[in-house]
Each structure stands twice: as structure tokens, then as C-alpha cells.
Structure 1
Amino acid sequence: MNTDNIEPPRIARLPDDFRWPGGRRVAVIFNIAFEAWSDGQAPGIGPMGNVLKPGYFDTNAHSWAAFGIHRGIHRLIGIADKHGVKASVMVNGVICERDPDTVRRIAGLGHEIVNHSWGMDVIPVYLDEAAERQNLERNHELLTRTSGVAPTGWISPRGTGSLITSRLLAEAGYLHHGDVNDDDRPYVMEFGDRRIVGIPLTMDVNDLPTCIRYGQGPRHMLEIFEDCFRAFRERESVPLMLDVTAHTHVMGRPSGAWVYDEIMRRVGQAGDVWVCTRQEMARYVLDTI
């Protein structure tokens, strides 16, 4: 993509004295990544670690990823509901075709549906503008029709939008997206008279890099959370946000779901943090600054 004519947005970042509702300084978001790949595609990573030769379909990785739609999503949603937590659930459009009832149920329970592209293999940075617009519009319509609720947030697969993704989302009326990593709090991006909140998808407490990339056991994620949570609350004085992210095909398994459960329990015992969805955070930021 030619970058010569791409104008950057105006950025309004949160000041150090900004506070979340109730004067709280720390916000926690629970994300669930409900992911799938297009027909004929498999994840580039899997539980075996070593990749196959080019040109061969990885049946092992494909079956591993399919666990999320069969079992993982139901286990993680059940945990969130047990704690009374509303999660931000990233949903690929292709899942609306494979399991519309579950997508409908997630929205019916009050969880946020976040547009997550058609499939995990459809990454905006690979698309030209026409194809990116088509992908956004196709998934928006499908998620809205299936869930009964129009999504207001977007996160690209791999968190990798194109150079124009933010603008396209703002023009489409989206309130927030998670394709940014350059802050430890959300900020407002202005494209003319359109505003959208960039909410970093923080990776500190995320099962995919913890368990798959770095090969740590689920308990390690709980330890990371404890260290982060303590540092955020005891060693910082500025407004912060902390994502707790579980993928349905990774920590949606009994061996790891207990960590998601335990983190929700510990956050619920802390009276000084704001637990919210990404949509709630975006609305609050837009109404405040």
C-alpha cells in the first residue's frame, strides 16, 4: 500500500489525572477470543510446535483449533456468567455460519460481540482498500444479523490492521478497535469529525503467548496476573487498563480454564478496580474527553 497520501489521525491521550467511573484508577477487561479459520485453512501454530513442510494441510493444528467452537467457548462463557462478568468476545464472521446459535447466545447473555474479521487468516494488512471495506461490511452485517446486536468494536486477527483500518472503522461508525500497542491506556483517534477509541489489547495476561509462544503452563498466567495486578494497584499512580484474555481453543480446556476462573474471582474481591467491556470503556472515554 502506498503510504504517501495517508494522513495520520489527531490523537488525544488520557492525562495522568484521568480516572475511571467511581474515581477508580485501574480498569480490567476480560476478553474471550472465539476464533476460527476460513474453509481449507489451518492455524500456523499448533500444540506440536514444529511446522509441517509447505503445501501440506496441518490436520493436527486444525483439529486443535476446532476445540474452541465445540467446547472451549461454552466453558469460558460459563465461567464469566458464574462471576457476573460481561466479557468482550472476539468473533470471526465464519463462526456465524458454523455455529449461529452460540453467537446468538453470547449476545443474549449481555456479552460484547467484537468484530474479528472473517477468519483468522483474513488479516487487513494483506488486503487492499476495496477488499478491506468488503471484509468489514460483510462481517458487520453477518454478526449483526446473527447476534441481533450491531458490533461497535473491532480487533484484527493478530492485532494487525492495515495503515487505513482505523480510518475505515471510524467512517463505519465503530467506537473502538484494539489494533494499537503504543500506550498503557486507551486514547481517542480523530479522523475529521469522526472519533474512534484505540484500546490497546495488552498482552501481559494472555494465554496464547504465555502457553503457546513461550511454552508456559496455565499457572504461569495466574502468576503473571498477580504480579501485574499488584504493580498496577500498588506501584503506579496513573490510570491503567489490564486485559485478561483467554482463547477458546487454548485456555478453554479444563487444564487452563480454572486460571480464568481464579482471576475473575480475585478481581471480584478487589473493590478498587472497574471491570468493564471494551465498548463500555470506549463510551466512557468518548464521553469524558
Structure 2
Amino acid sequence: MGENSKIEWTTHTFNPWWGCVKVSEACKHCYAEAWAKRVGQKVWGPTTHRRFFGDAHWKQPETWNRRLEGTGQRERVFCASMADVFEDRRDLDPHRARLWSLIETTPNLDWLLLTKRPDVATRLNRWGTNWPANVWLGTTVENQQRADENLPHLVGIPARVRFISAEPLLGPLNLSAYLERLDWVITGGESGPKARPASPTWFRQLHLQCMEHEVSFHFKQWGDWAPGDGINLPHRRTQQAHDGTLMVRLGKKAAGRELDGATHDGLPESSRAI
């Protein structure tokens, strides 16, 4: 985590703090919670303290920004991979304000704010209807219920780029009511020891919807489970997906990220120079 992230759709990650509260089915096997526990940080839950960082940590994005000056290039910063910047806690307000200032003073960086709480994003930001040009706002929609809860809030916010992360995808999605006001769809399957297999038809349907509405599409990964066609199955754990496809547990790396023989690395048009 940090500079030169291994996450396929960002350049760097930056965390203003660590810790969160689970709010949806996508949170059930949260990788960030598992990672925090692995390094001895008990920062998940409504009453636990969050982990904060010093000045050296906060200066990293300023270094990335300076490096880009005069180059005409831009880099993306996923904020926050270990938290949610719109978690509605008052002890987070000063750190949130510091983040808004950092975003404003790093115009060469596109800040990707991914939240499960778009319903409070308008209240907890300080920009009103004039969001900075380098803010991309996204929300997680793992199934149709979450899409219908979250997307009416997201599409009403005047961020320069609005996107969704349908990862882990846990059900079919019909986004036709929202895609005219979205710029980017990221999707993928779940990884980790308790990963749930996704149906390949869910991803194909999302891809078709994005093509029909000319919305950029990014398939991040199969996750731990991939379709079993052509795979030597002995001694492999298998499970039937909701669409009937036999899925094989291969692990994230072996499963890869090709969908129907192609890699989909779409980025929104607004990723070009401001």
C-alpha cells in the first residue's frame, strides 16, 4: 500500500487513517479488516479507535504531485483502501478537513474517493456544489439492492468523475437507470480464504451495459474462483455459481483477470489532462 500500488486501477494508495465499520454484504470478508488484524491493529467497529499517521505520511502525495509538475501527466490516488473517508464520526472531522486541503493542493493527482456511504458524502465534504476537478467519487455496489440504495445519492453529486466498484460482485446488476450519469465501472470477484464465487454472466451483462452506454469498463479480477472450462479438475475445489457455471478455486493469481479472452482496463475519458 502507498506508492506504486498493485491495485490495477490506481497508481498509488493513500490512507488518512485506518479503520471502519461494516455496513453491507460486501464488507463480510473485508480484506482491510483482515490486514489490520494481521499487523496488530484493532481498528474495526463502531467504538474502536482509528489509527492515524504523522506528517511524513501526509507529505507523500505532495511528493508525487511535485514529481508530475510540468510533465502533462497525471496519476491516480485511491483514498482510502483501509478506511472510508465518509465514515460519519466526529473524531474524524479534523483528519477529513486535512485531506480536503491535501486534495486541493495536489492538482496533478486524481483522487479516487471510494465510499460505501454516498448518502452522507454531500454533508461531510466542504465543497458543496463546486467539487475540485481532481476528485473522482465512487461507491461500492455489490448487488442490485446496494445499487438502488447508493446510486441515487452518487449520481446527484457534481464530482468530475463518478464511478462504481462492483467488487466483490455478489449478484446481477441492472444499471440502466444510472449509467448515463456514471463514467466508469470497476468490477471483479472476491478473493481471500472465504471468497464467494461470482457468476460469469454477471460480468458479461455488466460489460454489455457499459458498451451500450459508452461507459468505461474495468474487469479487475476473477478473485479466487474462475470458470472451470479447460482446467484440470482433480484435487481442485469446485462450486457451481448461480448461473450454473462450474467454478474452480484457483487463487487470485492463477485465476487471472481475462474476461472471455480479453483484458478490460477501461478508464474514464476524464482521466485525460485537466
TM-score, reference length from structure 1: 0.41
Return the structure number with greater helix share. 1
Q: Which has the bigger relative contact order, CA under 8 A and spacing at least 6?
A: 1
TM-score, reference length from structure 2: 0.43
